[in-house]
Amino acid sequence: MARGGDYLLALKGNRPALFADVVAFFADPPTDMTLSAHTTTDADHGRIEERRHSVCHNTQWLFSDRRYPDEPHFPHLAMIAMVENHVEREGRKSTERRYYLSSVKLDAQAFAAAVRAHWGIENRLHWVLDVVFHDDLTRLRTGSGPQNMAVVKHIAMNLVRNPNDKHSLKVRRKRANLDPDYLETLVTQRQPLI
């Protein structure tokens, strides 16, 4: 891109024409299109999860005159991709497909690593802000308030995450609220109290 950045975006139903085309493509890929595929399997937390990653670098067919006016444009689109998750937990099986757009031509294995890295950020940052700090309930919407509180929450999250005790982030946050000595250990980064 102009400033050296690239994108790997999840494609959802809010782009109806593009989403429908990509879903139809991966449901029945044309024989003249080359797909790269990579499969990973994880057995963790009482479930078996198989992820099949498929990528296609031919994207010219996606755009034509039949698109709707003001449809968002994805500059330098180089690849479309799909992750198909098969999960088995306690005898129940489920399948889910997610679709992606990218400005970089990745092979299926590199795409799999990029998607997993994104979910790592989602689980490590956004989930903590939403669940532990209830960020979605915040009503700050104007001025510098949202930006200032984001900085404060990130500082608090890093302080709460730092101790090497066995408590969850939620318990640490609650304990810091109720116990001034524990709060002091978090802020000063001393060894946690027993």
* The model's pTM: 0.64
CA distance linking residue 15 with residue 95, whole number of Å: 22
> So what's the pLDDT on residue 14?
80
Tell me the pLDDT tens digit for each residue of 83-103: 999 999 888 999 999 999 999
Residue/partner pairs of 126-135 with CB below 8 Å, 24 or more apart:
128/157, 128/161, 128/169, 129/153, 129/157, 131/170, 132/157, 132/160, 132/169, 132/170, 132/173, 133/157, 133/173
Return the pLDDT at 68: 58
How far apart CA 27 and CA 97 sit, in angstroms, is: 10
User: Which residues of the chain register pLDDT less than 50?
Assistant: 1
Residue pair 84/52 in contact (Cβ under 8 Å)? The answer is yes
* pLDDT number for residue 53: 95
pLDDT at 3: 65
Q: Where are the domains of the chain?
A: 8-106, 135-188
